[in-house]
Amino acid sequence: MAVKIRMQRHGSKKRPFYFIVAANSTSPRDGKFIEKLGTYNPLTVPATIRINNERALDWLQKGAQPTNTVRRILSFKGVLYMKHLMRGVSLGLFDEAAANEKFEKWNAEHEQLVAKREETHRKHKQDKRHSVSQESVRRVEEKQAVKAAEAAAAAAEATPENNEETPAEQAPETEA
């Protein structure tokens, strides 16, 4: 029986939510599965991934083949790296304590990288909001300036007409 680690879709229309499962490769996408290994929610930013690393590693060591998307998720969570380290332990290249130490070091660096990406994303989003708000304020000010200029022009047009009539009326008075 060929076992695959794949995603099983749940959620409503246009609101996907996935279970990461170990299932027989011939079973339907949303059908029968052997074991639920975790969840994946792509709608959150960043995507939420919860996975039982020990069970996923166990299935990989038993020969389960992950799909492409699940392979990326397992790689992101460090399960494939742990499998790589466990292979080194089984070959006698180093002991399990050294493998766990290497994994902890990698995991700490990975967490810093993820935190940095989240911070960059948050700053970019904040800068975008700030620039959009500044642009909208600038547009409102421009509209107000145009209206004020139109009002001043209309007032200037009305004032010279009164001034033209006034000198004409004053001119006959001065002559007489």
Same domain, 77 and 120: no
The structural domain count of the chain equals 2
| Residues 114-135: tens digit of each pLDDT | 999 989 988 988 888 888 778 8
Q: Report yes or no on 167 lying in a domain.
A: no
Average pLDDT of the chain is 87
Give the mean model confidence (pLDDT) for residues 30-55: 92
- Using pLDDT thresholds of 50, 70 and 90, give the confidence band for residue 112: very high
Residue 108 included in any domain: yes
Q: Are residues 75 and 110 in the same domain?
A: no
Nearest in space to 124 (alpha carbons), one of 116, 136, 135: 116
Asked if residue 158 belongs to a domain, the reply is no
Burial class (CB in 10 A: 0-12, 13-18, 19+), 20: buried
Where in the sequence is the domain holding 50, given as residue range(s)? 3-93
Is the pLDDT score of 163 beyond 60?
A: no
% helix / strand / coil in the chain, to the nearest 5? 65, 15, 20
With respect to residue 171, please indicate whether it lies within any of the assigned structural domains: no
Residues 74 and 102 in one domain: no
In a shared domain, residues 55 and 104: no
Would you say the pTM of this structure is higher than 0.85?
no
- Structural tokens at position 26: 């011939």
